[in-house]
Every structure is written in structure tokens, then in C-alpha cells.
């Protein structure tokens, strides 16, 4: 493994560790008496004492933190206060919606964004380029949750092709299945992808144009290769390196973006779980969900670093 990747792996582990300390501090230490926060101002001293015991708040901060992290590493999480179920079980159920949604949205983002970016770059300053750039400028200004509402207005209210929200489940026994499940995630994924694709199209265009100005591209053209052949054989591979970084950032944004769009489409994902947990003051669930989402962002960034090193051999050899 290169020094670059070793350094990135160390940063990855350190970020996760610091994030866990921060999340723990904010939700378990800063509020003062967590049991009081959960039960509210009207709670009796007896009920507060009982909840403190149930949550293990009578132990020291260090013991509570190491118990929490140790439990997470072993897959044994605390009981949710409002659901009386381990948070891992609750989160695992919700991830069955969130992860496919994020992946579908990312797939659409890549397909639409990179295609439009290359299309625009190949037609720089012509009508196609101007049109794509105007569309992407508009797309960047549209909040994904509002675009989601517009999609519901069009396809559920006006055309009545799909339902306005909800998720039938992945199992035919529950009245769902793979087809109905994917169909329920289609509009949410499009809503998330449309905005991200607008951003990606701009980056892809500028990266392709930047690469087209390189000397080796001029040499390839001078050798007699057609513009199209140069674009596909030489330009795209190199232009995609900076685009990869943007994709990593976009996936991180999608992870939190899905939380909002899940709410628009009333999907039983992580978003609804965490907002219900906030309403119920179920800090145990909030703590584990926030750490999970942060971990997902950090993991995606690490994977991008690894891919970056794979496609750009200069990084493998460097100490960057």
C-alpha cells in the first residue's frame, strides 16, 4: 500500500474516532441530565432516576463512551427509548430504503451529469453547450426537495401515474416486491439526481475542456486522430480524475439529501426515523443515526481517495 493510502487510512480512522467523541459529547454530555432532556420538564425525580439507571447514566462518562463504541464495534447497540428495540435493528430496517435510494440517485447523477457534461464540452460555445449550461445553472438553484414536490404534483396529482408517496416493501409477502419497490424509489431518486447532475455536468464540461487544452491532445490531433477519437481515447480518462472527487462529495451530499427527500415521499428511511426520534427525544437513536451518517460520508471520502490513487498513478508513488 502506498504512503498516500496509508496516510488517508490513518486520517479515515482518526476522523471516525473524533466524530464518535463529538457526537457522544453533544448528545450525552452537553445536555447535562440526559434523562431530564428525554422526559421533559414535567418528569418526576423518581422517573428521572429510573431512566438514568436504564440508560446507564449512573456510570462515568468514559465508561459510557467505551461501552457505546465497543457495543457498536460488536454490533450490540443500545435500546431505543421510544421503540424499546436495539437501534441497530431499527437502522438496518431503514437502510433497506435509504441505501438503494442513494445508489439509484447516484447512478442517475452519473448517467445524466457526465453525458451532458461531455455533450456540452464537445460543442463548446454552440447552442447545445449554452443550452446545457443554462439548464444546469437553473438545476443548481432548485432545491431537491422542491423538485421532489413538483414531481409529485406532475406524476401523482396531475397524471395520477404513481402514488404521492409511501413504500410497499421489498417482499411480495408484504404486498411489495422488487418491481413495486424500485418504482416507489424512482421519483425520489430522480429528484435527488436532477440537482446533483446539474452540478456534475458543469464540472465534467470544465474538466474535459481543460484536458482538451493539454499538449498531448494537440499531439494526438496532429498525428491525424479525429476529434471524436481523441475525446474518447485520451481526454475522457484524464478528465474523469477531478470528476471523481466531485462524485465523492456528491455521494456524501446524497447521503444527507436522501433524509430530506425521504420525508417528501413519506419513505420509511433513516430520515423519518431520526425526525421521529427528535420528536420523541429519543437521543439514543439520534446519536447512533448521526454517527452512522457521518461514518457513511467518511467511508465514501476514503473510497474516493483509494479510487483516486487507482486512476492517477502519480499519487501512488507520491507522499502527498
Partner 1 sequence: MSAVLSVPAPSGGFVARALRHPSFAIGAVLTLLLLAAAALSLVWSPYPPAELDIPNKLQAASAAHWFGTDSLGRDIASQLLVGARASILVGVFAVLIGFSIGTALGLLASARGGWVEEAVMRLSDFTFAFPALLSAILLGAIYGPGLVTGIVAIGVFNIPVFARVTRGAANAIWSREYVLAARAAGKNRWHITWDHVVPNIASALIVQATNQFATAIIAEAALSYLGLGTQPPMPSWGRMLNEAQTQMFQAPMLAVYPGMAIVLAVLGLNLMGDGLRDLLDPKLARKR
309 is a contact residue toward partner 1 (CB under 8 A): no
How many angstroms separate the CA atoms of 203 and 180, rounded?
34
15 is a contact residue toward partner 1 (CB under 8 A): yes
Q: Considering beta carbons, is residue 111 or 303 the nearer one to partner 1? A: 303
Distance of closest approach, residue 157 Cβ to partner 1, in angstroms: 5
Alpha-carbon distances of 300 from 54, 63, 261, 316, rounded to whole Å: 35, 30, 20, 19
- Binding footprint of partner 1, residue count (CB under 8 A): 47
Distance of closest approach, residue 51 Cβ to partner 1, in angstroms: 16
String of contacts with partner 1 for each residue 259-288, x by CB under 8 A: xx--xx---------xx-xx--x-x--x--
Select from 2, 36, 37, 306 the one that contacts partner 1 (CB under 8 A): 37
Select from 1, 14, 130, 182 the one that contacts partner 1 (CB under 8 A): 14
Select from 294, 304, 309, 315 the one that contacts partner 1 (CB under 8 A): 294
166 is a contact residue toward partner 1 (CB under 8 A): no
CA 193 to chain centre: 12
Distance of closest approach, residue 249 Cβ to partner 1, in angstroms: 8
Q: Considering beta carbons, is residue 36 or 115 the nearer one to partner 1? A: 36
319 and 3 in contact (C-beta within 8 Å)? yes
43 is a contact residue toward partner 1 (CB under 8 A): no
Residues belonging to the chain: 320
String of contacts with partner 1 for each residue 204-243, x by CB under 8 A: ----------------------------------------
- Which positions touch partner 1 (CB under 8 A)? 11, 14-15, 18-19, 23, 26-27, 30-31, 37, 137-138, 140-143, 145-146, 149-150, 152-153, 157-158, 164, 252-253, 256, 259-260, 263-264, 274-275, 277-278, 281, 283, 286, 289-290, 293-294, 297-298, 301
Amino acid at each position: 500500500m502506498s504512503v498516500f493510502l496509508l496516510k488517508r487510512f490513518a486520517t479515515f480512522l482518526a476522523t471516525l474516532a473524533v466524530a464518535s467523541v463529538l457526537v457522544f459529547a453533544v448528545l450525552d454530555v452537553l445536555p447535562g441530565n440526559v434523562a431530564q432532556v428525554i422526559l421533559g420538564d414535567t418528569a418526576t425525580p423518581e422517573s428521572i432516576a429510573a431512566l438514568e439507571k436504564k440508560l446507564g447514566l449512573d456510570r462515568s462518562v468514559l465508561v459510557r463512551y467505551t461501552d457505546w463504541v465497543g457495543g457498536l464495534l460488536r454490533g450490540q447497540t443500545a435500546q431505543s427509548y421510544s421503540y424499546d428495540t436495539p437501534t441497530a435493528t431499527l437502522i438496518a430496517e431503514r437502510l433497506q430504503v435509504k441505501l438503494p435510494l442513494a445508489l439509484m440517485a447516484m447512478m442517475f447523477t452519473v448517467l445524466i451529469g457526465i453525458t451532458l457534461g461531455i455533450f456540452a464540452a464537445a460543442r463548446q460555445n454552440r447552442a447545445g453547450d449554452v443550452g446545457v449550461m443554462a439548464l444546469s445553472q437553473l438545476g443548481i438553484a432548485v432545491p431537491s426537495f422542491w423538485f421532489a414536490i413538483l414531481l409529485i404534483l406532475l406524476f401523482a396529482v396531475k397524471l395520477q401515474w404513481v402514488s404521492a408517496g409511501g413504500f410497499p416493501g421489498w417482499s411480495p409477502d408484504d404486498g411489495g416486491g422488487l418491481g413495486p419497490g424500485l418504482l416507489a424509489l424512482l421519483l425520489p431518486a430522480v429528484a435527488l439526481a436532477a440537482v446533483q447532475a446539474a452540478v456534475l455536468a458543469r464540472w465534467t464540461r470544465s474538466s474535459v475542456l481543460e484536458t482538451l487544452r493539454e499538449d498531448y491532445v494537440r499531439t494526438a490531433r496532429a498525428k491525424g486522430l479525429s476529434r471524436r477519437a481523441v475525446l474518447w481515447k485520451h481526454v475522457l480518462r484524464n478528465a474523469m480524475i477531478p470528476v471523481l472527487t466531485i462524485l465523492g462529495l456528491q455521494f456524501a451530499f446524497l447521503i444527507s439529501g436522501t433524509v430530506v427527500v425521504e420525508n417528501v415521499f413519506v419513505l420509511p428511511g433513516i430520515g423519518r426515523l431520526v425526525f421521529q426520534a427528535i420528536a420523541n427525544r429519543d437521543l439514543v437513536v439520534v446519536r447512533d443515526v448521526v454517527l452512522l451518517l457521518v461514518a457513511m460520508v467518511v467511508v465514501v471520502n476514503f473510497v474516493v481517495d483509494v479510487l483516486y490513487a487507482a486512476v492517477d498513478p502519480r499519487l501512488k508513488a507520491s507522499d502527498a
